[in-house]
Amino acid sequence: MTVESAKNKAGPFNVTGASGTFPRDFLLLDEDHLRVIRVRDGEETDLTSGIGHTGIGTADGTVVISTGIQAGDQIYLLRAVPNLQRSDYNAQGRVRTEQVESDLDLTIMQIQDLREAQGRALTLAVSSEIGGEAALSAALDAPKYANEAKRAAETAVEASRAVPPNYRSRSDLANAMSGLIPEMTASVGPVAYTIDPSATGWRSAMADIGVDGVALRDEPINAYVAAWFADDGDNTIYFYTSPDGKTWSRLNDSFVRVGNTNRNVLSRDPSLVFFRGEFWMSVTNYAEGSHDAVIFRSRDLMNWRRFQVKFGPVPNISATVPFPGGIVPASFVWAPELVVDGDDLYAFPTIRYGNDVVDDYGSTIQSKRIFRSRLVSPDTMEFSALEYVPLGDVHPKGTYQAVGEIAAPPSVPLRHINGQSGMMGLDITFSQDFRAEFPADDLIIIPAAAGATSFSGGNWIAGGSTYNNFVSRVNTFLAANPDVVLEAMIWQQGEDDRNNSNYQSQLADFFVRARGDIPALSGVPLLLGEMGTFVPAGTTDINAVIAAVAAATPNAHVVSSAGLTDKGDSLHFNAASYRTLGHRYFSAFASARGSTGSGPVPQRRAIIIAGQSNAVGQDLFENQAVIGGQLDAAAEWKLTEPGWWFVTKDEKAKTCLVFDGDAIDGGFDYVQTLTAPYMVEGFSLVPHTYLTPAGVRDLKWRIYCDAHADLDNVPLGKQFYWELPTPGASPEAFTAINVSHPVRHGGVKNLAVRSDAAAIPAIYRAAAFMHGDPGRGFSYSVQLASGARSINPQEGVLYYVGGIGNTVTLTIKDGAADVFHLAALTFATDSGIHVLQSPVVAWPVALGFGDNVNQVVTFRRGPSGLYYPDLAPRAAFSAHKGGTPQTISGALVQTAISFPSEEFDSGASFDVASGMWTPPPGRYRVTASVRFTGSVAGANNSLLLLRDGAVYRRMSMQSNGAGDMTLDLTALVRANGSNAFGVAVVLGGSGDKTISGAAADTWFEGVPV
């Protein structure tokens, strides 16, 4: 026999019961040579009883275990040949070959068994001075030491977080990154940063630190965008951006496109929002007849689609027809503000409505009202019919109306069976009184009135459609809201039953029937309002019938209409009378109830309002001479309750009115008046992120406005903002903002707060389009503060300067970027970027300073590792005489040539007063030409290029004869950043010479090379 396999072990086998059969796949010559090992809970035990074998003498057998095991155990089979040699060989005896072979097989098996055991043993190096026992002891102690080391490391981490390391420079921080731990704080000088492995690319660049893995700690982010029109004489709409809402830079100096035309968006009062992945902008519309307003849509702020929209099925604007309920023709829509509410878009146009009024400054102004319309379909641009937006006299907080099974915010009017938008009813003052007496309880009004209804017309009799609707409304809501307590029913009706001889019996039957069909109405007060005394009499005395029915009906009470007046139609109360009537209804309710006041547990209480048109409300609010306005939601931003702020102009006083409301489709209650040192208008309400002194991010509110007129050295359109902790609080400041160009009112948004996540990237894409390169995709944008700055550029980031008086001297260091961008987003001649020569920049660059405005320059890393600018406009200029000649007196006298007019001056390096050009460091081509009269034949004439007052290059020519002569010179120069270049002449011959003042004759230019 031979030993063909080195294998001597089988297992582990998982035990599933109290017995089992387990395969053996190695050679076994004797059952005593096998160890059967059970492993239970980590402990090993040799089984010696209850063991059976098959296949002894072969490499294919089984082991049967009948006792000593249970489910969950593991079994190992291990061959263990005894270290004995039992054969006795003598020199004279004969040994069978089978015996020799068997002994050799056992010897080989012993060697294999020893090797298997050695494989599980600790083996030391030959050179080890430690004995096996000591080494084994150390190995067993190693896990303990490892745990202690882990705890020490964790303690060190906590200690490192408690004492943030401080580095002298960004490069020191970069060199220490390998030893810093995520989430710990580190600082460079006074600036704290967070170690964040995900802060790469633009996130690192946001910290302007250029070190991947480092993020600026608790830095607030604001991303302002605005649309303003230029002025009263220029209705071009321009777009501006700002990182802080104080300094603004214009994006579009060139045309934007409307459709396939290269023409600007021309109009006034733009309102800009980001909705459904696009910018939407509404403007004041001067047309009338075919539509109400114009709305533009764009994905990039440059390419716009124009839509003519109407609010409702037909246009509302007319040169001859007033808006429904109005007095004077609607003329056109003013300042239609756009508001995004989740998945809905609303327009809030202002329309001329009442007679003109005189403002507080003695000027006659139009009377207008603010309306509201909701976008029904973005595809068809269909809007709902206009609804009046009530301001200043609305349902108090805690008031709701029943709409189906839901308690919804109240509208004006309430959602009765029918009603006309904007009509005021008695419910407003009733709810004000109710909430004042029940401050902890909600009031739910169940609106169930319908105009032009009567008993004689069959509306309110048994089976009448209006009556059935009334019963269904009440029962549906109360069944869905069993916690609601019905407190009373208001009934205001009768005008269309003045000639109904059966009115008394029908009205009495109505109350009996209603209490039967609406179980919750049984026993609660019924409040019956009198018809106005101004209503022409009929054959039936309605008020007498009301009194008789009330007297005969349990818990029924009459509400007087004495002294109330109509709105001019001898039928319906006016707004003032509705207010009074609401107060009277509550007094009657309180008297009938016997007591008022909230209990210890807040309660939801309901009343029913039923009847006909005077129950719905039939008069608009008093005239409010307001125009414009903008909304912004405040529900999720540190307010005690959800709701909306509304800001608009008091047209008479030229102040800012602030309102608030529960819902976008409801009314708004007066909060405060903000008064500026000047007449103001064009309001926008914007949340602004800031850091508290404790370093916590929080929000304030800004209300932007512009000056209404040229007053006190404040130009028309000058922009300001109030800053408040929240609308309703005292303003903390009234601050002027810096805009690169004069503007008039429009709309301001902060896209970093409460906006679609796609809004900010869309602005950066728009900036790329405006800068003439739609192919660029910026990963982020970082504004550079004025002064000496350095960056380690990050991939795809746009570094820019904006505003006024922001000159940046920029040192570019080696960074992670292969491509990054620089831009001057300003028209100010004192703002721009000087890129200095450095080891990683191929040549210096100048951007901005009144020219090459809004151009983005891309820097790319070349094969040498240097950054090269793409078509970077460094300092360049062109100046000329501007039509002013110059006289040269005397012969061979060096005379400087003046250049009082600039064609352009990129980098603001040319001084017209001295005629000297001082470009940033670099190489330039300088050219000059001078034409003069009075040359003398044979005289020597020289044109000189001066550097720092000394002759740097000279061009000389001898006159061929008397008359005109032109000298020109071109030179390649190197500038160190302080070198000043100018032009002078030395003209020969007697007599005065005259330098031509024509721009085409005498000029001085320089460009980079």
CA atoms of 275 and 163, how far apart (whole Å): 46
Long-range pairs of 514-517 with CB within 8 A, sequence gap ≥ 24: 514/470, 514/471, 514/489, 517/471, 517/475
Give the tens place of pLDDT for each residue, 340-361: 888 899 999 888 877 777 877 8
Per-residue confidence (pLDDT) for residue 854, from 0 to 100: 46
CA atoms of 745 and 350, how far apart (whole Å): 15
Task: Give pLDDT < 50 ranges for the chain.
Answer: 201-208, 219-220, 254-255, 260-263, 622-640, 768-769, 771-777, 852-854, 872-873
CA atoms of 844 and 869, how far apart (whole Å): 9
CATH of domain 399-620: 3.40.50.1110
Q: How far is CA 236 from CA 231, 268, 270, 307, 519, in A?
A: 8, 8, 10, 18, 64
- 876 and 1004 Cβ atoms separated by less than 8 Å: no
Within a 13 Å sphere around the CA of 768, how many CA atoms are in the beta-carbon half?
A: 22
Per-residue confidence (pLDDT) for residue 762, from 0 to 100: 65
Per-residue confidence (pLDDT) for residue 210, from 0 to 100: 56
Per-residue confidence (pLDDT) for residue 633, from 0 to 100: 37
Within a 13 Å sphere around the CA of 298, how many CA atoms are in the beta-carbon half?
A: 23
CA atoms of 314 and 331, how far apart (whole Å): 15
- 932 and 995 Cβ atoms separated by less than 8 Å: yes
- 58 and 66 Cβ atoms separated by less than 8 Å: no
CA atoms of 939 and 932, how far apart (whole Å): 13
User: Nearest to residue 371, comparing CAs of 394, 399, 352?
Assistant: 352
Q: What are phi and psi of 977, to 5 degrees?
A: 105, -20
Burial label, 287 (beta-carbon count in 10 A; 0-12, 13-18, 19+): middle
Per-residue confidence (pLDDT) for residue 855, from 0 to 100: 58
Q: Are strands 1003-1008 and 922-935 parallel, antiparallel or unpaired?
A: antiparallel
DSSP string of 324-355, one letter each residue: TT-SSB---EEEEEEEEETTEEEEEEEEEEEE
Hey, where are the domains in the chain? 9-119, 166-216, 224-238+252-287+301-312+327-387+624-750, 399-620, 759-766+773-869, 876-1008
Q: Are strands 364-377 and 387-388 parallel, antiparallel or unpaired?
A: antiparallel
Per-residue confidence (pLDDT) for residue 629, from 0 to 100: 46
Per-residue confidence (pLDDT) for residue 414, from 0 to 100: 87
- 367 and 354 Cβ atoms separated by less than 8 Å: yes
- Its pTM stands at 0.50
Per-residue confidence (pLDDT) for residue 775, from 0 to 100: 38
b/e 473-500 (16+ beta carbons within 10 angstroms → b) = bbbebbeebeebebbbbbbbbbbbbbeb
Give the tens place of pLDDT for each residue, 815-829: 888 888 888 766 566
CATH 2.115.10 fits 224-238+252-287+301-312+327-387+624-750, yes or no: yes
CATH of domain 876-1008: 2.60.120.40
- 793 and 784 Cβ atoms separated by less than 8 Å: no
Q: How far is CA 482 from CA 474, 552, 605, 778, in A?
A: 12, 30, 11, 57
Give the tens place of pLDDT for each residue, 311-346: 988 888 777 888 776 778 887 778 888 988 888 999
